[in-house]
Amino acid sequence: MDTNLSQVAKDLVANGRGIFAADAGPKTLAKRAAEINLSLETVDQRLKYRTMTISTPGLSQYIGGVILHEEAMSLVSVLNQQGIKAGLKVDQGTVEMTSGSIEKITEGLEKLDQKLADASQAGAKFSKWRAVIIISSATPSSANVEANCETLARYAKLSQKAGLVPIIEPEVLMEGTHPLERCADVTRLVGKKMFASLLKHEIDLTGMLYKPNMVLAGKDCPSQPTVTEIAQKTVEVMQEIVPPKVPGIVFLSGGQEAGSATQRLNEIAKLGGGSPWRWSFSFERGLEGPAMQTWQGQEANIVAAQKMLLHRAKCNSLASLGKYTAEVEHEI
């Protein structure tokens, strides 16, 4: 066991803190901005936006680590000044698994060694790799689950070797009409395969964080489960797949409405009280979505946008402890 890796992994989610995934790539960020008539087409525009979010005063009370995109690595010092650990998204995004397939695999193992060494040199303490699993009548295929878990485990090994805590993110997407039970089955299958691959590659489970999806019904499923049903299923599946040595489960928000993601996390933390790991968050849209809306690209809105981000960070921090309430939500 590498005590340094274990300590960093624990610290990232200690004292009610979670992670801010500020690592959306240029295309994704520009697309999200365009949906609200904002332009984030150039690196300079995006850096301005990214700097605005991560320099929010007081953020370190609720956020232990921020995942950066490589185009924003110059912002490590801004985070360090705030007492927040910097991480780097090191995958290169997804491509079709085979020509014409709807399934994806994640690229980026080539030259990963160098990238991790550079990140560590620049002051990063952790890294992230995301794989996506698609639910449809014909997917996921076992080949796709196998390939994604193997790649994630190989990434995790290299990350730990470079002294960076890996955040391991196999995301089962919420697109589709499938019911809650189907998402539970797929999340369980992926999780079991994931931890088997981590075992095979001798990953130090104390020096990593697991970043799964919550167990949800497909976005277009006609019968949507309640918050309690979602939390019960999520806790049940996580208890089946995640070994007790893992210090934290940090959920992604995955396109859920920001307030719903918070409520569900809160219920998960309440129902899963007494579990060996910390329940927390590693949200992107669930944290910065409302802030981007408030900002509107205007200098005059920076304070209000930062207030919005801080508010969501606070709500999610309380939710990670099962202490979120409607009163806190309406404080802003």
Integer Cα distance of 216 and 223 in angstroms: 11
Q: Are strands 104-106 and 126-133 parallel, antiparallel or unpaired?
A: unpaired
Written as six digits, the tokens of 108 are 């980026």
Residue 286: CB minimum distance to ligand 13P, A: 5
Task: Judge whether 211 counts as a catalytic residue.
Answer: yes
104 lines the binding site for ligand 13P (CB under 6 A): no
Q: How far is CA 249 from the centre of its chain?
A: 10
- Based on its alpha-carbon atoms, the radius of gyration of the chain, rounded to whole angstroms, reads 18
Integer Cα distance of 58 and 13 in angstroms: 16
For ligand 13P, the binding residue among 144, 160, 253, 263 (CB under 6 A) is 253
**What value, to the nearest 5°, has the Cα angle with vertex 68 and ends 65 and 70?**
150
Residue 269: CB minimum distance to ligand 13P, A: 17
Per CB under 6 A, which region of 10-18, 154-162, 186-194, 284-292 contacts ligand 13P?
Answer: 284-292
For the chain, what is the total number of helices (H) and then of strands (E)? 12, 10
**Beta-carbon-side half-sphere exposure of residue 209 (alpha carbons within 13 Å):** 34
Cis-peptide into 243, omega within 30 deg = no
Q: Which is the catalytic residue, given 104, 128, 211, 233?
A: 211
286 lines the binding site for ligand 13P (CB under 6 A): yes
Q: For residues 64 and 276, which CB has a smaller minimum distance to ligand 13P in the complex? A: 64
For ligand 13P, what does the binding mask look like between residues 131 and 170, x meaning CB under 6 A?
A: --------------------------------------x-
Q: For residues 75 and 298, which CB has a smaller minimum distance to ligand 13P in the complex? A: 75
Residue 3: CB minimum distance to ligand 13P, A: 27
283 lines the binding site for ligand 13P (CB under 6 A): yes
Per CB under 6 A, which region of 68-76, 100-108, 149-157, 246-254 contacts ligand 13P?
Answer: 246-254
